[in-house]
Amino acid sequence: MRGVPILLLMVLCTLLLQSHICSGIKWLALARTPATLFLNQSQHCKLLGGLVSSQVQLCRSNLELMQTIIQAAKEVKKTCQKSFSDMRWNCSSIELVPSFTPDLERGTRESAFVYALSAAAISHTIARACTSGDLRGCSCGPIPGEIPQPGYRWGGCADNLHYGLVMGSKFSDAAMKMKKSGSQANKLMHLHNSEVGRQALNDALVMKCKCHGVSGSCSIRTCWRGLQDLKDIAMDLKTKYLSATKVVHRPMGTRKQLVPKDIDIRPVQENELVYLQSSPDFCSRNEKLGSLGTQDRQCNKTSNGSDSCDLMCCGRGYNPYSEKLVERCHCKYHWCCYVTCKKCERTVERYVCK
């Protein structure tokens, strides 16, 4: 090491430290797993990308669970990008997993959302897999203890949220519970936000019912506990993202804790997302901050929301362009039983940011 420049050593140490900051969501690299890869032997776990050693061990002991977790990684990517398609930050950086850009490395509110969504998605997917019979290790959720109101009865197959939460948290939190998982502040932040995601999932367990009775009278309803779709849970987390609290890591009593930066007289609430570092405005491209900018992003000229051309383009203006759409039209129903349609072409005007 004598011949290695001190500056180079500092750079290497910095890179080594940063490599653990986002290790808690590197498992999202499973979304890239080829469909042709069959996980039927424990040694196949080494072929999966983004896993830390403890997750590889969990893979080996829960091999049948991995296809479900791979599906969860794909759901996180798709749901995050769809949820933020109307925002300047549109979650496009998740495509780079497991090599994260600063928007997800620096403890921002964007990373807070992704950690929360990831924790919710993995438990959601496992719970649903139990219901559909895709996992041998679990089945339907338990029947609630309380008696439903008259005309209602428990039945069907409830989503097994308990099993989903147990196995999901064991896998997704594994990396953050390692000794080398970044700074204590980042670790506490990510663990907190992951728990917020699971709490949002728990709140999304609702009663679903199916009607029975003569001629659809619905005199009796068979009900079970079922989870809302992940897209609905993501929208709840997006609301929490918009009102997230900036925190600092400071001594509270006998140990350091995360406390609100501006109102540190109260502890962090269990249901609020927290972040350590402020985000850029994402208007202009800045690789050091993880901002891709909004140039060439499509905007909505008639909207007053975040997708409006004024907000999306950050006041730079926008360019119009025309796009031809081919759609089905003049459809006719023929007895019995098919529909014929013509193809119609129309031109619509679109707008992209300068």
Residues 134 and 249 in one domain: yes
At 12 the pLDDT is 34
Number of domains in the chain: 2
Residues 255 and 352 in one domain: no
Residues 176 and 314 in one domain: no
| Residue 214 lies in domain | 13-293
**Can you tell me the distance from the alpha carbon of 74 to that of 91, in angstroms, rounded to the nearest whole number?**
13
At 49 the pLDDT is 86
Q: Is 124 helix (H, G, I), strand (E, B) or coil?
A: helix
Report if residue 216 sits inside a domain: yes
Residues 120 and 152 in one domain: yes
Residues 269 and 350 in one domain: no
At 119 the pLDDT is 97
- Contacts of residue 166, Cβ cutoff 8 Å, sequence gap at least 6: none
**Can you tell me the distance from the alpha carbon of 77 to that of 117, in angstroms, rounded to the nearest whole number?**
10
Report if residue 210 sits inside a domain: yes
Residues 285 and 329 in one domain: no
Residues 184 and 326 in one domain: no
At 216 the pLDDT is 65
CB-facing half-sphere around the CA of 95: CA atoms within 13 A: 6
Domain boundary among 269, 293, 317: 293
**Can you tell me the distance from the alpha carbon of 118 to that of 195, in angstroms, rounded to the nearest whole number?**
10
**Can you tell me the distance from the alpha carbon of 142 to that of 183, in angstroms, rounded to the nearest whole number?**
39
Report if residue 202 sits inside a domain: yes
Report if residue 3 sits inside a domain: no
Residues 301 and 159 in one domain: no
Evaluated on CA atoms 95, 96, 102, 104, the torsion sign reads positive
Report if residue 247 sits inside a domain: yes
The full DSSP string for 131-184 is: HHT--TT--SPPPPSSPPPTTEEE-S----HHHHHHHHHHHHTTGGGSSSSS-H
Evaluated on CA atoms 108, 196, 70, 185, the torsion sign reads positive
Q: In the chain, which residues have pLDDT < 50?
A: 1-20
- Token pair, residue 321, equals 């362009």
At 215 the pLDDT is 66
Domain boundary among 293, 321, 336: 293
**Can you tell me the distance from the alpha carbon of 44 to that of 89, in angstroms, rounded to the nearest whole number?**
36
| CA 260, chain centre distance (Å) | 24
Report if residue 5 sits inside a domain: no
Report if residue 319 sits inside a domain: yes
Residues 214 and 316 in one domain: no
At 348 the pLDDT is 92
Domain boundary among 293, 311, 341: 293
At 177 the pLDDT is 84
Residues 164 and 280 in one domain: yes
At 5 the pLDDT is 47
**Nearest 5°: phi and psi at 175?**
-65, -35
As a whole number of Å, the end-to-end CA separation of the chain is 50
Report if residue 4 sits inside a domain: no
Residues 261 and 311 in one domain: no
Mind listing the pLDDT tens digit for each residue in 270-293?
999 999 999 999 999 999 999 999
Beta bridge partners of 222: 153, 210
- Token pair, residue 107, equals 């403890």
**Nearest 5°: phi and psi at 241?**
-60, -45
Residues 318 and 169 in one domain: no
| CA 157, chain centre distance (Å) | 25
**Can you tell me the distance from the alpha carbon of 248 to that of 258, in angstroms, rounded to the nearest whole number?**
5
- Domain at 308, CATH number: 3.30.2460.20
